[in-house]
Amino acid sequence: MSGVRLSPAVSHLKPSATLAAAAKAKELKSKGVTVYDFTLGEPDFMTPENIRKAAVAAMESGHTHYTASGGIIELKKAVCAAYLRDYKLEITPAQVLISNGAKHSIHNVLASLCGPGDEVIIPGPYWVSYSALVELTGATPVIVDTTEESGFCMSADQFRHAITPRTRMMMLNNPSNPTGAAYPIDKLKALADVAVEKNILVLSDEIYEKLLYTGAEFRCFATFGPEVAQRTILVSGVSKAYAMTGWRIGWTIGPVDAIKAMDNLQSQETSNPCSISQYAAVEALNGPQASVEAMRVEFEKRRNFVMDRMRPWRQKFGVTFAEPGGAFYAFFNVSACFGRPLAGGATVSNATDFCTALLEQSHVALVTGDAFGAPGYVRLSFATSLETIQVGLDRIEAFLAG
Ligand code: PMP
Ligand code: GLU
């Protein structure tokens, strides 16, 4: 320890648990061990060829300098055109801010709109970074626990009861990381009605908007009418739908004055997101969309395979779960296995120890639900090959069997 004094905001900050779990799996791999890695939520597919080519063309034509801090106008227009095409939502480029991935977008929104004394309602289980990024602003996360029986969807009544005079915002993630919950449209509409009635801002993180399965439908939150749109800040990006996690392009859509404030912040903090990635993202949005559906179909096959394998675990091991309607995660409760011998004689008493023992014994890497405010649960990302999934599930089953 060097004894450097950290700022109060950062001194309590934990590293992202998903990235930490992935790093742990990588470390084991670097020692020559074959690890069945289900930690990271990132598509394993190549970024489609038309997008890669657009990036090369951008470099060759000299788009290798600073751009406007909030992104190039071509990309803002492409975002507007995509929302009109996909959701019939009319927005203008002044309502769009391009950032370094959706995580950065979320940070910009929270840092610009929330501060000490504010409360931010977050349905739990929630994505790791939500609570950390809220706390970084000095605001207080208010977690509303949802249940497996409700498909991990927060009800309008739960939302209403969590609201206090200090409530500034509600953060919604539909489809959800880590639960895979895809809100039925009537439940989503009921939340929108409460937001209007109580005049609460909603940060709607729709990064998994293109990844829905078995007939689940997606509805963009801002499309419930002008009163809802006025109170909605949409966040999304190219990472998941176009297999572009490394390119770091996300966006925020919201009221012009709020977007302007976020652009000011970004201009001081990071300047523009990567110029080349922005041109590639223009092609992702404006170019052919067939690859998005092709990848979704593959994810659906994997999802169905995982569910078919896991359903008997309910009876066999007391494992419980709600079947995911979107994103690419299986989220299951393994607490019935706590305190009884697992493979290799290991006994565990919580999900974090479960993941550690599973990695050590069986070389399978999952993320503990403790990171998502869901003790007893573990998350398996099925954004990896069917072969890996097949062997990985065999190993988890053998581990559970003891
Ligand atoms: N929101 C959710 C719910 C996520 O799972 C992720 C995962 N990466 C992000 C935002 C951030 O995405 P990006 O890679 O665009 O920063
Ligand atoms: N969102 C992904 C996940 O949850 C990527 C990791 C991260 O950004 O935390 O695995």
Ligand 1 centre distance from Cα of residue 329 (Å)? 13
CATH class of domain segment(s) 49-288: alpha beta
Number of Cβ within 10 Å of residue 85's Cβ equals: 12
Ligand 2 centre distance from Cα of residue 344 (Å)? 30
Q: Is 173 helix (H, G, I), strand (E, B) or coil?
A: strand
Q: Which segments of the chain belong to CATH 3.40.640.10?
A: 49-288
Which residue of 130, 152, 206, 240 sits with most ligand 1 atoms within 8 Å of its CB, as the best mutation to test the pocket?
240
The residue nearest atom 7 of ligand 1, judged by CA position, is: 41
Ligand 2 centre distance from Cα of residue 177 (Å)? 9
Determine if ligand 2 sits within 6 Å of the CB of residue 262: no
CA distance 32 to 16: 25
Ligand 2 centre distance from Cα of residue 164 (Å)? 30
CA distance 126 to 146: 10
Which pTM was predicted?
Answer: 0.97
CATH class of domain segment(s) 12-41+291-401: alpha beta
CA distance 84 to 35: 43
What values do phi and psi take at 44, rounded to 5?
A: -85, -5
Q: Of the candidates 378, 371, 382, 380, which has an alpha carbon nearest to the alpha carbon of residue 124?
A: 371
What is the sign, positive or negative, of the torsion defined by CA atoms of 381, 382, 386, 389? positive
- Of all atoms in ligand 2, which is nearest to the CA of residue 40? 10
Ligand 2 centre distance from Cα of residue 202 (Å)? 21
Category of 373 on φ-ψ map: left (φ > 0), alpha (ψ -120 to 50) or beta: left
Which residue of 207, 236, 245 sits with most ligand 1 atoms within 8 Å of its CB, as the best mutation to test the pocket?
207
Q: Which segments of the chain belong to CATH 3.90.1150.10?
A: 12-41+291-401
Q: Is 91 helix (H, G, I), strand (E, B) or coil?
A: coil
Q: Are 189 and 174 in contact (CB under 8 A)?
A: no
Ligand 1 centre distance from Cα of residue 102 (Å)? 5
Q: What is the CA radius of gyration of the chain?
A: 21
Q: Of the candidates 241, 251, 253, 246, which has an alpha carbon nearest to the alpha carbon of residue 277?
A: 246
Determine if ligand 1 sits within 6 Å of the CB of residue 252: no
Per-residue pLDDT tens digits of the chain, which is 402 residues long: 578 999 988 998 988 989 989 999 999 999 999 999 999 999 999 999 999 999 999 999 999 999 999 999 999 999 999 999 999 999 999 999 999 999 999 999 999 999 999 999 999 999 999 999 999 999 999 999 999 999 999 999 999 999 999 999 999 999 999 999 999 999 999 999 999 999 999 999 999 999 999 999 999 999 999 999 999 999 999 999 999 999 999 999 999 999 999 999 999 999 999 999 999 999 999 999 999 999 999 999 999 999 999 999 999 999 999 999 999 999 999 999 999 999 988 899 999 999 999 999 999 999 999 999 999 999 999 999 999 999 999 999 999 999
